[in-house]
Amino acid sequence: MKIKILKKISIIILLIICLFFNMVKANTEDEEDININEILQVTSAEVDMPKTSSRIALIYDRASGEVIYEKNGYRKAKMASTTKIMTSLIVLEKGNLSDTVTVSKKAAGTGGSRLGLKTNDKITVNDLLMGLMLESGNDAAIALAEHISGGVEKFADLMNAKAKELGCTNTHFANPHGLQDENHYTTAHDMALIAQAAYQNETFRIIIGTKMYTIPPTNKHAEETVLRNHHDMLCTYHNANRKYLYPYCVGGKTGYTAAANSTLVTYAEKDGMTLICVVMDTQSPNQFIDTVNLFDYAFDNFQVLNVAENDTNYSAETTVDNGNLDNIAPFVELDKDAVIVLPKTAEFSDTSSSVEYNDSDPEIAGSITYTYAGRNVGKADIKTTGVVVEGYAFDNESTEEEEQEAVSTVQVRPIVVVLLIVAVILLGVLLFFLKRFYDNYYIIKHNRAVRRDRKDQKRRIRKKRRRRRRWR
């Protein structure tokens, strides 16, 4: 009970602090008549905007989950072999890398780009994943789907369920390889969400960063099978002159069909930033040229800032006594890994923030969303620290009594206290006037008695005088 009460008190204090600083910032802007968009926003006049030939393009910051740049990023399009990012994610979550897969006739007969599998070939899941992502083997995709789910349709159901779980809003998978199907599509933004989820898996990162891999001989292949990564920004598969190599590229996935044109998903890391670039529906080699231009634009003009290290509006000094007389610990704190993305011309203090309270997760008290120039630039969770509020050894009351006392204390409203004070004052005033009336009542009664006595005495005197006159 104490934990819940202290959690709510901490959030209330945090809301008050954030509202106070936002009000101060707003008042300052009003007084100085500042147009924040004109001063802070990165515009085409300040930097060269990226030029792209691709009909669809998007840059996504992996740490903050924010879109830095997009061109038709939410338009539905065909994804070709970039489908295999989701295929790999499902296999890594559901399968075992050391399992041996027996290749079916259907898998061996799959067309398009191939690993070269044969019916009844026996090959490990790990080798199939390497063939799927490096050689873009459609036969490997079918073999993996059948191994995990028993068939392509059931595997597609897993892919669609995962897409929904990740927040994809305009994506549908019909197969694990990306060959043409009218019911197989996505958007650049949805693909970035899928790529983000896959990149969190260490094995996936190793696979996409592998430039060359050798599959040992199998029961159907007497010799080794050498695989080379098809991503020209990572290694020289197509471009012998290395002109598309990008020093910050750490992997990705290529794709092409006649209906989809060239597609490309790429990961790059530089200066603490990990970016995901998605380009779709373009003619080769524009997918590589556009991706390089987009990465250069993002790395040259944007920065990531750690929230916990920069947010001066929030004070981690919201503390509670953890039961030791000499130790006061914070009850909540900002996620130490949370970051926001800002133009290099802006500072953390230029952002605005809003707090949202969360009562559904015991480990997350709420979250702070940051905006800059009218756009979301990131968020940070407010995490509970796990501090346990314990009673002292010399407490005489039971835990139940302490909880009841705490509830009673919290439920006393200030208005009730004020009304009680007013009632006491009014009662005092009433008693004062009653006492004065009581005292005056006896004085008045006494005066009336004196006046009656005087009148009676005067009457007696007059009677005596009359009697004397008669006797005379």
Structure token digits, residue 142: 């079918």
- Pick from 339, 117, 148, 344: which is nearest to 219 by CA? 117
Dist. CA 97–CA 76, nearest whole Å: 33
Dist. CA 58–CA 189, nearest whole Å: 7
Q: Which amino acid, one-letter code, is at 226?
A: V
Active site residue 136: yes
Structure token digits, residue 247: 């020093």
Q: Do residues 103 and 139 make contact, with C-beta atoms less than 8 angstroms apart?
A: yes
Catalytic residue among 54, 88, 136, 367: 136
H helices within 172-282, ranges in order? 188-199, 202-208
Peptide bond into 285 cis (omega under 30): yes
Q: Going along 175-260, which residue ranges are E strands?
A: 212-215, 225-228, 249-257
Q: What is the 3-state secondary structure (H, E, C) of 381-395?
A: EEEECCCCCCCCCCC
Report the chain's C-alpha Rg in angstroms. 40
Catalytic residue among 7, 10, 54, 84: 84
Dist. CA 368–CA 48, nearest whole Å: 32
Give the C-alpha distances (Å, rounded to integers) separating 302 from 51, 191, 199, 203, 338: 17, 22, 21, 29, 16
- Pick from 37, 268, 235, 229: which is nearest to 134 by CA? 229
Which helix (H) or strand (E) is 68 found in, with range?
A: strand 67-71
Active site residue 84: yes
Catalytic residue among 10, 81, 113, 149: 81
Cα end-to-end distance, the chain, whole Å: 105
Active site residue 64: no
Catalytic residues: 81, 84, 136
